[in-house]
Structure 1
Amino acid sequence: MIWILLALLVFIFQIGTILILEFRKPSKTVAWLLILFIFPIVGFIMYYFLAQEYRHRKTVRRRNVVAEEMRLQALRRCKMVHRPAELGTGEFSHQERLFRLLSGMSTSPITACNQTEVLTNGEATYASILEAIEGAKHHVHVEYYTIRNDRIGNKLKDALIRKAKQGVEVRVIYDGVGSYELHGSYVRELREAGIQTQCFLAPRLALFDKRINYRDHRKIVVVDGRIGFVGGINIGDEYLGGNPKLGFWRDTHLRIEGDAVYFLQDVFLKDWWFTAKERLSDPAYLPEHNCAGDEQVQIISSGPDSLADAILECVFAAVSVAKRRIWITTPYFIPDGSILMALRTAALSGVDVRLIIPYVADSKLVLRASLSYVEDLLAVGVRIYRYRKGFVHAKVIIIDDIMASVGTANMDMRSFFSNFELNALLFSQKAIKRLEEDFQDDLSVCEELSLSVFERRPRRAKAGEVLARMLSPLL
């Protein structure tokens, strides 16, 4: 009897701890309580190692001080947008509130001197990145969630080694979980060629330091501080259709020249300091350049080390001001409650809200969680499409004709709250038009979901969606 009482007290203590520490995030609380009820002791151990709040640590606060010094160097070099009328078309001149939010919320300003190229799918992206690396004169900075020791991974390795032997500075950051299959021999070859490498939160150390849940999901390449790349594509043959389960891989990346590259570089330099504890302050990393374009671009970074959830706030604000359309492509749709409400409200107000999600998924649990939101959104007029040609991994948002977003962040709570992410906001009509054309092309190979048909899905599927949605804040 006494053992039952003790077990009950321990269980109550575990519940109380989660309720007290997670009271600000009800959905996350429910997910952890579900795990605790299913696995009473194991669930609490998982919570202890995975759920610690990241941003209050002293090392993170120190990182933010160093980051501010680097940011000031970038600000002195760039041309900034100071009024909403300077953005895109005259349509943005009426978005004073959105402009103030974008100007004030991020460590990166809206830059005025850029030239961008939308890169559709892996072939175009890898060709452009390898071409830029071949032309490097001073440095190449590479940061990826996933780097694989496969055909394209070896092409990248060979290109980096070749430049290092020519005297170019080469640095590589890879995520400890996303690149867990990366062979030690791959990294060793890089280091033997003089390339500096860093693993972002290696799993063993991160587990015992209670940071395993926080991953570097960014994809950055910066060449000579003048050319930058960001988007959804990692380094792996699956992005070229090499995964037989997923087939054709649909993705979107972005090539940037101009002032915005300073802030891609700024993010990389901060992450390098965090992983290597080496401060890179050579002015050559932020070189003067001749402005070749007039496109406006803003780099938005977010992560658990920041007091603000910058990408979430940006998406919410943009969705809230839309008057005509909100077009979204995302592989994982597990929205925060505020985003879900904003999309519902927009659709009910007559805005053309369209969402492309996968038909074939790389994670069945995440797909089930995504499908749990479909019925509610269809009921208020959101048009939802499932991509049938292969696997869609692009992360794109188009708001009216005023702005678009391309980057690493999915429309899910992991990207909004737990991962280190990076998006580029685009305001030029050229870039928005190109993304619109890609979206229309994708619709041609999608199946549009019907509310009347979707409601008739099996009860077993509905039950799986309910369970997946309850766990979704942790996915």
Structure 2
Amino acid sequence: MDQVVYRWINSTALLRADVEALVGVCLAIAVTVHALLRKRRVSVAVGWIGLAWLSPIFGSALYLLLGINRVYRRARKMRGRPSEAVPPPDADDAVVPETLWPLDRAIRRITGAPALIGNRVRMFRNGDAAYPEMLAGIRDARASVAMTSYIFRDDATGREFCEALAQAKGRGVEVRVIIDGIGGGYFRTPAYKRLHAAGVPAALFMHSALPWRMPFLNLRNHKKLLILDGRVAFTGGLNIAAANRVSTKPRDPIRDIHFRFEGPVVDQLVTAFTADWAFADGESLDGPPWFMEAPAVGDCVARVVTSGPDADVQKIEQVVIQALNCARRRVRIATPYFLPDELVTGALIQAATRGISVEVVIPAVSDHRFIDWAMRAHLDVLIRAGVRVYLDRDPFDHAKAMVVDDVWCFVGSANWDMRSFRLNFELNVEVIDADLAGQIDALIRAKMDLPLTEKDLANRFLPVRLRDAGVRLLLPYL
């Protein structure tokens, strides 16, 4: 009897092993087929296929969770079909200086939008300068207030904004607020709940507890945007948080820059907001009081560039690469997180190799330790090519800006990393204006007092270098 039971157990175990092996082979084949058809980069495809065959169950599960770009497909499904608009013709536009015609032509083809003259732009440093102007604008609004914020804290600053928005709603102003589902607190979302309790129409962007929707990893709305009466707009890097009021000496101060726009470019900013509101809430906003004719008020040329894992995929990254390729003399960059992929790294190296002065400022210590480690892992190849890298001292600066040839500026919400370039919904503004370029350039130059050298990187202990290189493998998800 014991032998019969033993044989039955043994045969069952062998059958289970055969079934598991068959399932593993089927899963590995499925991953292989999908990766071959979907992954454009050879290294990425080889990595996933190798993992699937070495560990079929674990590798396939990981591929299902992280490797399938359902972000792109779901975003397109939610937004509908991408625009069928034909890009503008390649005729040189008189509003752009002749030296920038090649860059203008490229950006028009990337975005399908023209550069618009007649704008006025003002830069603010930190929430100390920007918040009072933004709050005054909300309190003075008479027709509409549209607002998007990645982070919206329920602290003293956040409550002040909630109160101003509620008061605007109370006096008959049309108000709409988008808060990112992750940046807004995810599980608690206190600012969203405060607005909702006050009757303010607010939406959480991609907020879901369902794991297959991958809310923790992708589809983040990283934009920061405030539009008042369809004629004035604020955008840049500022979230809504007391930490951005540096003069009040918060525990973990965050420096930043923000911009006030007036003029025709505001219409492009409204278009970006209404697309996101339809995405988050389903309501279509069209015509007054959202779209209002914004008259020319200045001489700045500006154009909005949005990017996200849908029809706008990689547009900000493409604009950055084109700007690097078209630079003639100098490129200065400030960013809190610097994790460019091979395409952007190659463009930086090529610019430096051509003799262009390329200078990058990053924080000596950011607010994410893992990102600090990963940033150090790829800087040596840039420094060897002639790119000058500087470390910015405390307090942490969240500002992101790019200046090319002392006239072309690129500002907004996007960091220089794969998350911003490929996964997040981001909004940047191209501005052609020597005065603004001078202001941003002066801000960047003031931070360039601690150069990072090849020797500094080489002197790291081997365990530190291995740690940094290992963390860099998580680059798409940092």
Fold-level similarity (TM above 0.5): yes
Q: CA 1:216 to 1:86, structure 2 compared with 1: closer, same or farther past 3 Å?
A: same
2:183 is the alignment partner of 1:178:
yes
Per the TM alignment, residue 194 of structure 1 is displaced from its structure 2 partner at its CA by: 2.7
Quick one: distance in 2 between partners of 1:242 and 1:18? 53
Per the TM alignment, residue 468 of structure 1 is displaced from its structure 2 partner at its CA by: 1.7
With normalisation by structure 1, the TM-score equals 0.88
Q: CA 1:387 to 1:18, structure 2 compared with 1: closer, same or farther past 3 Å?
A: farther
Per the TM alignment, residue 168 of structure 1 is displaced from its structure 2 partner at its CA by: 0.9
Quick one: distance in 2 between partners of 1:263 and 1:154? 29
Q: CA 1:453 to 1:141, structure 2 compared with 1: closer, same or farther past 3 Å?
A: same
Match of 2:458 among 443, 450, 455: 455
Match of 2:391 among 381, 386, 391: 386
Q: What RMSD over aligned residues (CA atoms) do the two structures have, in Å?
A: 3.2
Partner SS, residue 112 of structure 1: strand
Alpha carbons 1:84, 1:94 under 8 Å: kept: no
Per the TM alignment, residue 254 of structure 1 is displaced from its structure 2 partner at its CA by: 1.2
2:283 is the alignment partner of 1:268:
no
Match of 1:135 among 122, 140, 148: 140
Q: CA 1:391 to 1:22, structure 2 compared with 1: closer, same or farther past 3 Å?
A: farther
Quick one: distance in 2 between partners of 1:96 and 1:30? 40
Match of 2:68 among 52, 66, 76: 52
> Which amino acid letter does the alignment assign opposite residue 282 of structure 2?
K
Quick one: distance in 1 between partners of 2:140 and 2:90? 30
Partner SS, residue 250 of structure 1: coil
Q: Match for residue 86 of structure 1?
A: 95
Which has the bigger relative contact order, CA under 8 A and spacing at least 6? 1
Per the TM alignment, residue 17 of structure 1 is displaced from its structure 2 partner at its CA by: 5.5
Q: Which structure 1 residue ranges, 4+ long, deviate > 6 Å from structure 2?
A: 33-40, 66-69, 242-246
Partner SS, residue 301 of structure 2: strand
Quick one: distance in 2 between partners of 1:35 and 1:12? 9
Structure 1 alignment gaps of length 5 or more: none
Alpha carbons 2:128, 2:246 under 8 Å: kept: no
Q: CA 1:351 to 1:197, structure 2 compared with 1: closer, same or farther past 3 Å?
A: same
Aligned length: 461
Quick one: distance in 1 between partners of 2:326 and 2:341? 18
Mean CA deviation greater in 130-139 or 234-243: 234-243
Mean CA deviation greater in 34-43 or 122-131: 34-43
Quick one: distance in 2 between partners of 1:68 and 1:95? 27
Q: Deviations over 1:6-58 (max 9, x none)?
A: 35636744752663355313455577679879997556434324443347648
Per the TM alignment, residue 62 of structure 1 is displaced from its structure 2 partner at its CA by: 6.9
Partner SS, residue 357 of structure 1: strand
Q: Deviations over 1:260-295 (max 9, x none)?
A: 111111011011111111111233311123321121
Partner SS, residue 319 of structure 2: helix
Q: Match for residue 165 of structure 1?
A: 170
Per the TM alignment, residue 236 of structure 1 is displaced from its structure 2 partner at its CA by: 1.5
Per the TM alignment, residue 430 of structure 1 is displaced from its structure 2 partner at its CA by: 1.2
Q: CA 1:183 to 1:469, structure 2 compared with 1: closer, same or farther past 3 Å?
A: closer
Q: CA 1:382 to 1:218, structure 2 compared with 1: closer, same or farther past 3 Å?
A: same
> Which amino acid letter does the alignment assign opposite residue 462 of structure 1?
R
Q: CA 1:58 to 1:368, structure 2 compared with 1: closer, same or farther past 3 Å?
A: closer
Q: Using the aligned pairs only, state the percent identity.
A: 30
Partner SS, residue 116 of structure 1: strand
Match of 2:40 among 24, 32, 45: 24
Alpha carbons 1:81, 1:112 under 8 Å: kept: no
Q: Deviations over 1:300-351 (max 9, x none)?
A: 0011111642111100000011121111111111112111011111112211
Alpha carbons 1:55, 1:307 under 8 Å: kept: no
Q: Match for residue 427 of structure 1?
A: 432
Alpha carbons 1:54, 1:304 under 8 Å: kept: no
Q: Match for residue 213 of structure 2?
A: 209
Structure 2 alignment gaps of length 5 or more: 1-12
Q: Match for residue 465 of structure 1?
A: 468
Q: Match for residue 286 of structure 1?
A: 291
Q: Deviations over 1:403-450 (max 9, x none)?
A: 11111111111111111010001101111111111111222xx42112
Matches within 5 A, 1:387-406: 387-406=392-411
Alpha carbons 2:95, 2:116 under 8 Å: kept: no
Alpha carbons 1:248, 1:389 under 8 Å: kept: no
Alpha carbons 2:128, 2:247 under 8 Å: kept: no
With normalisation by structure 2, the TM-score equals 0.87
